Amino acid sequence: MKDKGLEGTLKALRAAGVYVTFEEFKGRKPIVRGSTTIPVAVTDFDNPFARHDLAMSTGGSTGASTAVHQDLDYISAIASVHMLMLDAWAVLDNPALIWAQILPGAGPRFILQRLRFGASADVWCSEQGWFDSRSWLKYDLATLYSIFWMRAFGAHVDVPAIVRLDQGLTVARRLRAMLDVHGKVMLYCSVSRATRVAVAAEEAGIDLTGTTIRVGAEPMTAGKVARMKRVGARVMAAYGAIETGPVGLGCPNGGEVDHMHLASDVMALITEPVTLEGTGTTVHAFNLTSLEESSPKVMLNYQIDDDGIVEQRRCGCPLYACGYTTSLHTVRSYSKLLVEGVTIIGTDVQRILEDVLPAAFGGSPLDYQLVEDEEADSLSRLLLLVHPRLSIARDDDVARTFLQALRASSPRGDSGGSVWERAGSLKVVRQPPVLTTRGKHLPLHTRRAPRR
């Protein structure tokens, strides 16, 4: 394998059946290769050589959250990668506001990263409050314990203020106050939270010019990024997960809203053509391999359920000069929506939810969501959630506009929209969109009835 190099070796192993699918990695399905079946649990992929210094949990975007242990050596290692990205954007010395949860959320990891390269996390806000978790005694005390030792070693870290998801205006005002003092500021948060801040700032007439928003945890879309830019903010993409750590580092010279460089010193990535069942559509699925020895998970061609464009691009930015020559963009989950025997790829409807409906009926991308709802009778219903704060004369107009836009989007969308229209599968419900356990707003959301 030496003559193949890293990428060639990984592709050869993938062709030989050495890979792990998303469902297998999550412990939801056994590994089946030919006549061999290997039962697995999510903990089977834990790195046996990594310490359990911090206990965090995944965001629960595709199911129940799972615990992921973090090694302080790993946090230190990926801090240098994060530092290079900030330096490429010329924001390394910017004061920061971190809107991320207390443990088991990622807030402490962000702060430790910044402290590692000498930056100060000036303001920390958490959507999750004290006593909110059912394991509050464990996690609240662990958060306070971490803060105590950070302070004991001379770090200035305040106890986080509790700022709920519907308090985006509070964050916008905090940012404006920091801009008035420093002239520049960074905001760390998820894509949907950043959109909440931008929408609240625009409605209140708050100018956030001088703000750079480091976003992650959810796919970036042109509609959401446009809302952030309208209030003067720059948007820095980042791609990764609690289990994987950093995968993509935002490019300051990107041509797409989510142009990123592969963090090739901590993660290897190859793509594999995968045909989605029932659609005939082929995606280039990402397969990830961990290279950092203290990584929380052992990954060898982990097929993460995401796809996107991978290319060699000479952008001329400092990250490229550091050797990060592989670029990623248009990163999306290729999860499917299946109702009445019609399969629609999520990206087919995301533009309608984030661009078409807000343009026609007002509001923002956070006011619309498509939900595949499986009830106790195991029948799937398709619900189009519309926030009740929007003044719309007829809900049927929203459903009709959605189906018309879907049918005009592609031949598959035309066919699927026609079936849903005839079957009456789409129902408009006036309620706020459903959030994941970590507060993410996903344009496509699946609610499953508990098994009996």
Which 3 state secondary structure label does DSSP give 144? helix
Q: Is the pLDDT of residue 264 over 90?
A: yes
What are 216's strand-pairing partners? 190
Tokens of 179: 């801009």
Is 21 among the domain residues?
A: no
If asked whether residues 129 and 266 sit together in one domain, one would say yes
Q: Is the pLDDT of residue 261 over 60?
A: yes
Q: Give the model confidence (pLDDT) of 274-314 as tens digits.
A: 886 655 678 889 999 999 999 999 999 999 888 899 999 89
Q: Give the model confidence (pLDDT) of 157-186 as tens digits.
A: 889 999 987 889 999 999 999 999 999 999
Confidence of residue 338 (pLDDT cuts 50, 70, 90): very low
What is residue 206's predicted lDDT score, i.e. its pLDDT? Answer: 96
Is 199 among the domain residues?
A: yes
If asked whether residues 280 and 383 sit together in one domain, one would say no
**Start-to-end C-alpha separation, the chain:** 49
What is residue 190's predicted lDDT score, i.e. its pLDDT? Answer: 86
- What is the crossing angle of helices 191-204 and 168-182, to 10°? 80
| Contact indicator for 47, 297 with CB cutoff of 8 Å | yes
What is residue 50's predicted lDDT score, i.e. its pLDDT? Answer: 86
| Structural domain ending residue among the three candidates 301, 333, 365 | 333
Instruction: Single out the residue of 311, 303, 348, 333 nearest to residue 24, CA to CA.
Output: 303
Confidence of residue 450 (pLDDT cuts 50, 70, 90): very low
Q: Is the pLDDT of residue 345 over 80?
A: no
If asked whether residues 94 and 179 sit together in one domain, one would say yes
Which 3 state secondary structure label does DSSP give 364? coil
Confidence of residue 438 (pLDDT cuts 50, 70, 90): low
Q: What is the mean pLDDT of residues 379-405?
A: 86
Is 230 among the domain residues?
A: yes
Is 294 among the domain residues?
A: yes
Q: Give the model confidence (pLDDT) of 95-127 as tens digits.
A: 999 998 888 888 888 888 888 887 766 789 988
DSSP state letter for 376: T
Q: Is the pLDDT of residue 154 over 90?
A: no
If asked whether residues 234 and 347 sit together in one domain, one would say no
Is 36 among the domain residues?
A: no
In 122-254, the DSSP E strands lie at 123-126, 161-162, 185-190, 211-216, 234-241, 245-250
Identify the helix (H) or strand (E) that includes residue 402: helix 395-409
Is 27 among the domain residues?
A: no
Q: Which DSSP string do the residues of 229-295 spell out, in sequence order?
A: HTTT-EEEEEEEETTTEEEEEE-TT-SSTT-EEE-TTTEEEEEEEEEPTTT--EEEEEEEEE--TT-
Q: Of residues 83 and 101, which shows the higher confidence score?
A: 83
311-315: which pairs have CB atoms within 8 A and are 24 or more residues apart?
315/251, 315/253, 315/254, 315/259
Q: Is the pLDDT of residue 337 over 70?
A: no
73: domain range? 54-333
Task: State whether the Cα torsion 171-176-182-185 is positive or negative.
Answer: positive
What is residue 120's predicted lDDT score, i.e. its pLDDT? Answer: 65
- CA distances, 170 to each of 125, 150, 216, 451 (Å): 10, 26, 21, 40
CATH number of the domain encompassing residue 287: 3.40.50.12780
Task: Give the count of domains, the chain.
Answer: 2
In 100-210, the DSSP E strands lie at 123-126, 161-162, 185-190
DSSP state letter for 451: P
| Structural domain ending residue among the three candidates 312, 333, 354 | 333
If asked whether residues 316 and 423 sit together in one domain, one would say no
Instruction: Single out the residue of 327, 302, 126, 333 nearest to residue 220, CA to CA.
Output: 333
Cα separation, 47 vs 118, whole angstroms: 28
If asked whether residues 72 and 207 sit together in one domain, one would say yes
CATH number of the domain encompassing residue 423: 3.30.300
DSSP state letter for 61: S
Q: What is the mean pLDDT of the chain?
A: 84
145-154: which pairs have CB atoms within 8 A and are 24 or more residues apart?
146/54, 146/103, 146/108, 150/111, 150/112, 150/115
Confidence of residue 411 (pLDDT cuts 50, 70, 90): low
If asked whether residues 269 and 171 sit together in one domain, one would say yes
Residue 58, amino acid: T
Q: What is the mean pLDDT of residues 185-189?
A: 94
Tokens of 13: 């192993």
If asked whether residues 407 and 381 sit together in one domain, one would say yes
Confidence of residue 381 (pLDDT cuts 50, 70, 90): low
If asked whether residues 73 and 109 sit together in one domain, one would say yes
Residue 309, amino acid: I
Is 2 among the domain residues?
A: no
Q: Are strands 234-241 and 211-216 parallel, antiparallel or unpaired?
A: parallel
Considering 212-226, 231-245, 379-393, the range whose residues carry the highest mean pLDDT is: 231-245
**Cα 107 to chain centroid, rounded:** 15
Q: Is the pLDDT of residue 53 over 60?
A: yes
Q: Are strands 326-333 and 260-262 parallel, antiparallel or unpaired?
A: antiparallel
Is 49 among the domain residues?
A: no
CA geometry: angle at 437 spanning 433 and 443, to 5°?
35
Q: What is the mean pLDDT of residues 234-260?
A: 91
**Cα 27 to chain centroid, rounded:** 21
If asked whether residues 275 and 362 sit together in one domain, one would say no
| Structural domain ending residue among the three candidates 305, 333, 361 | 333
If asked whether residues 257 and 376 sit together in one domain, one would say no
What is residue 415's predicted lDDT score, i.e. its pLDDT? Answer: 60
- pTM for this prediction: 0.76
If asked whether residues 72 and 114 sit together in one domain, one would say yes
